[in-house]
Every structure is written in structure tokens, then in C-alpha cells.
Amino acid sequence: MTHLLSLADWPPRWIEETIEHGLQIKRDPARVARALEGRVLLMLFEKPSLRTRLSFEVAMVQMGGHAIYYDLGTSPLGRGKESLADTARTASRYVDAIMARLFRQADLEELAAHASVPVINGLTDHEHPCQVLGDLMTIREKKGRLQGVTLAYVGDGHNNVTHSLLLGGAAVGMHVRVGCPEGQDYEPEATVLARAREIARETGARIEIVHEARAAVAGADIVYTDTWMSYHIPPEQRAERERRLRPFQVTMDLMRQARPDALFMHCLPAERGAEMTDEVIDGPQSIVFDQAENRLHIQKAILLRLLGQ
């Protein structure tokens, strides 16, 4: 049985095959219209969601299956009356797969350790693999390739999307350049960076960390950013984080440092006027809503791989 907990767990071939399958599904969704008939996905949510919930729920419906939304805040688990292990064992008796959007990666791993069905990481504080598989599909769709593409991520490098971009980009042979402030609160986690570089040695990818936004974006094919205030960050840190991260805001001037045909990406939700300007996210280089749409197609490909279809 296979899970999707981290892109570090999947061999590069699986990542590439899933991306290609997502593109095939997008071109011809009818080919999988009944592929999961009678199957049930349980969706466990500890964090708010728009794209993750809708894309998985719609994916299951469009493939003939069903999705059940379960808010952990009102559950026996969330109220301290049931363990993760017992939740996983019980749910596995009813459903065919579990997608969990949790705070702690360790909780996700415990859930998977006791589940007898595939578990999908719908987001944790540490990684966001489904998002990045969709992002890689979008880059492949727009640029025609992944190998050798330069992706510049600018902003908060110590977050789940950056971690998964490093691991996923390394697996498909990209040049991933992270531009962020110095310090452990803003740089990618050292263990993730080491694993990404290990993968990169096998695939020909390049991984680079810089501390100046223009240097990060210079000559890039893709400019990517994310929120400066992830869900787990206390509100009282906002002022200091904005001060440190403001030099990494994506503006039209910063976009001009990238290639003329560079594209702008953001996983959403976006805080306009913070990590990027309205001019950028609404401009002709922005593909953020194509990126959001592709979450639907890649979720289908992920579900089909894990459920053996």
C-alpha cells in the first residue's frame, strides 16, 4: 500500500508519471469518469481550506465516487476523547482512502502508520505535496518541460510549499532557487534541503539558497511566492515578519529581473499588497488560476495512483 505523505517518499518516476497522467486527464476527463465508482474518500480537516477541499471533493464526484468532509475540531479526536491511532483504524474500516489536512507532519505520519488504506497529505506545516504536484503539472503544461526550468521562490522559505517545491523540483531536474531572509525562521529546514540536494545529485537538478530577491529571480522561468503568515504563525509576529520579508515582495520591477517570458505563480490564498502586488497577480504573466484549476486534475491522478487504477 502506498501513501503520499512527502514527495521525498516517491521516486522521481512516480512524480513524473503522475504529472503526465494529470495532463492526460485534463485533456480527456471522460476517460476516468467512472474510475472510482463506489469508492469513498474521507477528508480530515484541522486547517481551513478552499482549493484542497473543493478539488478533492469534485475529483471524487467526477470519477463516480464520494467524499466525506470531517472537521476534526468537532470530532472525538479534536476534543481529546479518541487517539489518532484509533481514528485511523476505525476510518479504514469504512473508506477507501484518507486525505488529511493537519498542522503537524508527525500526526499525519501516525495516522498513516495505523491506517489500512492510503493516506494523502492535504497539507501540514511541513509539506504540501499535492499543491506542488499540481504546480509541476502547470509548469510542464505552460513550458513544455520540467528538466532545466529555473523556478525562483521568493519570500518565506521556511514553509510547507517551499519544502515541497525543493523536493519536487529536485525530483524532476529543475533549478530551484530560494530567495529569503537569513535565519532559521525564514530559510528552508536543513533536513529538507539536504534531502533535496541528495535527490538533485541523481537527477541533474540544482538547489540554491540566496538572500537577495533580485539575485533569486535573475533569469528565472518561474517566479513563485506564498503567504508571509502561514496558519501556524502567531499574529503577534506579523509586524516583524513583514519588516524582514518586505524586500522579497514580488513587484513588476522584480518580475523584470526574470526572463521576458517568465510566469508568476502563487499557491493561494494570496494577501494582496503583502507578498505580491495586485499588478503582478492580476497581470499577464500570472497563471495563478490555471494553477488552482490544475489542483483538480492532479488530485484525480493522485487518487488513481494510490487506489491502483
The set of catalytic residues is 101, 128, 131, 226, 267, 295
CA atoms within a 13 Å half-sphere pointing along the CA-CB vector of 200? 20
237 Cβ contact list (under 8 Å, min separation 6): 229
Beta bridge partners of 28: none
How many C-beta atoms lie closer than 10 Å to residue 158's C-beta?
20
129 vs 148: CA distance, rounded Å: 21
Residue 204: phi and psi, rounded to 5, are: 85, 10
Residue type, 16: E
Secondary structure letter of residue 177 according to DSSP: E
Task: Kindly report the backbone phi and psi dihedral angles of residue 269, in degrees, each rounded to the nearest multiple of 5, phi listed first.
Answer: -75, 150
Cell of 97: 482512502
> What's the burial of 59, exposed, middle or buried (CB within 10 Å: 0-12/13-18/19+)?
buried
What is the C-alpha to C-alpha distance for residues 30 and 100, in angstroms, rounded to an integer? Answer: 27
Residues 6+ apart with CB under 8 A from 188: 157, 158, 162, 163, 166, 178, 180, 209
